Structure 1
Amino acid sequence: MAAAVKTRSFGASALIFLFSVFSLCQSLLSGGETFHRKLSVELNPGSSSSLPPGGDLLHVRAVGDNDTLHFLFCSQGAPTLLLVHTNTSSSAVKVNWTQFTDRSHSGGLQVEPETSILYSTALVFSRLLEYNDVNDTADPTSDLFPPYELRDFSWSRFNLSGPTALLCGSAANFVNGSLCLQLSVFEAEGRGQSWPRLLHTANSSQLTVWLDGVLPRASQSRFLLELQAVGDGAYPLSRVEVHRSIDDEFTPSIFKVSRWVPSVNGSSDVPVFIQWKPVAYRRSQPALEDATPCRHTEPRLQSGEEAAPGLVRAFYAEPETFGLNVSFGLAGEPFYNSTKFLSWTLLVGSGSPPVDSFSPLVVTMMAVGLGTPMILLLLGGVCVCARKRTAATATAYEPIN
């Protein structure tokens, strides 16, 4: 009898465990309610001309229940994405185009009411650098060519498709090809369709930059991209964290994610972030063999406000700038000349960065791996209990009439 009670208790515990595991799998597979924002897109807001001089300004307004994210993407000077988070759903962008195009002082762009601004940051794609890796060491300090200053590029007008904008540019010394950037803003959580398939939320935007068909200046050329994070000094993006994962289902062979975040007294909660997987791709339709690792330098405080792009000069009175370089390719990796293509993707967003948890496929496999032994143990216990009860019945004394 005691064995039967223990078996029933064990069986009940096993059933509860299996029910919990498979309920988790079902909830992950079916998804759930996700936070949504209402998006509106405006090109060159407040401009009397559809084609203002110097380049375009795209404004994507992402309205939540009681806050608003303003994404402003500008091609006047070096390509720049400005993110402004306000604590009201009625905040608006105001542009004084005379001051904006003048670039001599701030105030050309304002977010009103100004008191509603929680924080802001701007990401600037400032320079593209190329070096001749003669010894195949992937050392970018070895033989650098004169840099491509992106503020001197001739940029196309924005090619819009909903909350997605494509911008391409070239320069006089940029032979044949082009450098392109594509901005995507999202109304809900999701994942990119092409590698590295970054997870995004309604609080983030995605930027993909690619180099296509440019004639390199050496047969063993590799490239670096210089980025600048600009703010008002409240939340400077001054450090890069590297987080590890054990699940690479969506980005094969990549088990890390890099996050450029402010130093908030050791807190894990950050108001704004820039996030990427340390991988680039050598083809527009990549396969696993087209992946190439990338590295970053540590952010450093920079000066030189006179070279700031138009969007930064228009919004910030006293900007603070941190810069870093992202280099593509390691020693032994193919050089740019092998495909003449290179693409890299990153996120710019508000609040905590999206985190890749175990995918439904991995959770299901774990559930099956853990659940199968539990089921076998449960069935074994039931069989042992049933056999003991049968044996006890067969050996019992018959009553004497």
Structure 2
Amino acid sequence: IHSSIPDGYEEVSEGDNKYIVNIFTGVRWYSARDGSGKVYYYEENGNESCWTLPNVAQSIQDTQHNSSSISSESPPPPSEAPPPNKGGGSGTFLSSPNFRIGSGDSQEACSEWFKEIQSVIARIHDSTLGQRDSLPPVSRVKSIKSSSKKFLGSSEDLPSSQPSANNIREKLKKFFLRRPTMEDLFRRGIIKNEPVFGSTLKELSANEASDVPLFVKKCVREIEKGDFLSSDGVYRQSGNLSTIQKIRLQVDQGNLAILETLDDVHVLTGALKLFFRELKEPLIPWDCVDDLLAVPTLPGRKARLRALKEILSKMTPPHRATLLCLLRHLDRVTEFKESNRMQIHNLAIVFGPTLMWPPPHHGASTNLALDMMQQNIIVETLLSHANSLV
């Protein structure tokens, strides 16, 4: 009842027992007819039935899941056992996804089936090893792409990706070099300073119509309230940083009343120091530093005072007015030096790096100790003459 046998199969006859065997996998197929007389095939283990024999290439990959059908109808369920062998014995075969069990009514039949199974396993194993040995070795130097096929639409080899990476790097480098500088972005108004912290005294003066920033005025007023100036370590001790940052955010949103709710003088002094540190330009302009350093070397107090007034007159009104306001406040702090232990020298150490620093184009200093000493000398000189300057 066999139709034409496809390639990869051969018909085997063992007496009255005829079957078709896959020459690659050794799997046996038997033929039968359904109720309408149509021929179908079923595997010897009883797991699968189909109208036509599976394609040989597919059966090598998966003999259980790759079968084809020539009609929308399903073939009859596979027979529970292959036709009896020529010895006339009977056998039982049970199968599950994890194991297969076969039993026969004679020792000869069981031995024959066992030898056949071993033979099929050996052929499959040898075929797999042969295919593995025939594969070319993987090279770490050569491209893994075939010369006759394109991978993802590109025929370039892997080594060619290095010039591509260099091109991308060069393009990115040119892109960033063409980017405008931060100063240019500020000048064109693309980036703007923060409303209070991180701004400039010139902008604050224009926005608030006051040479002294409103925040500085109100913060100084709150610090000088009550017994705050008598607190030990005013300006030397640090306040709670998270609270200071909250004050910064509130002040930038225009809520200066937040300063009236604080009862910790160190938070207020920390906020004032942060304001001067965050200025885009230092309170004491850097071009005045050399002149201020020469003041302590002048003979006599009157000469030093005259030189200080001349230097202050060269500053812009916002810088001069704010500096005098701060000096007046710090002079009041020194009036309570017996209780707060903040003499002029201590305040100079605290405010030296806060009130002056070199511009970005000046470059990093190689002698920080000398810079700090010079900053302290300038602030100490200003505080020593604060009564006469203000």
Q: TM-score, normalised by structure 1?
A: 0.25
Length-normalised TM-score, structure 2: 0.26
Q: Which has the higher helix share?
A: 2
Considering only CA atoms, is the larger Rg found in Structure 1 or Structure 2?
2
More strand by share: 1
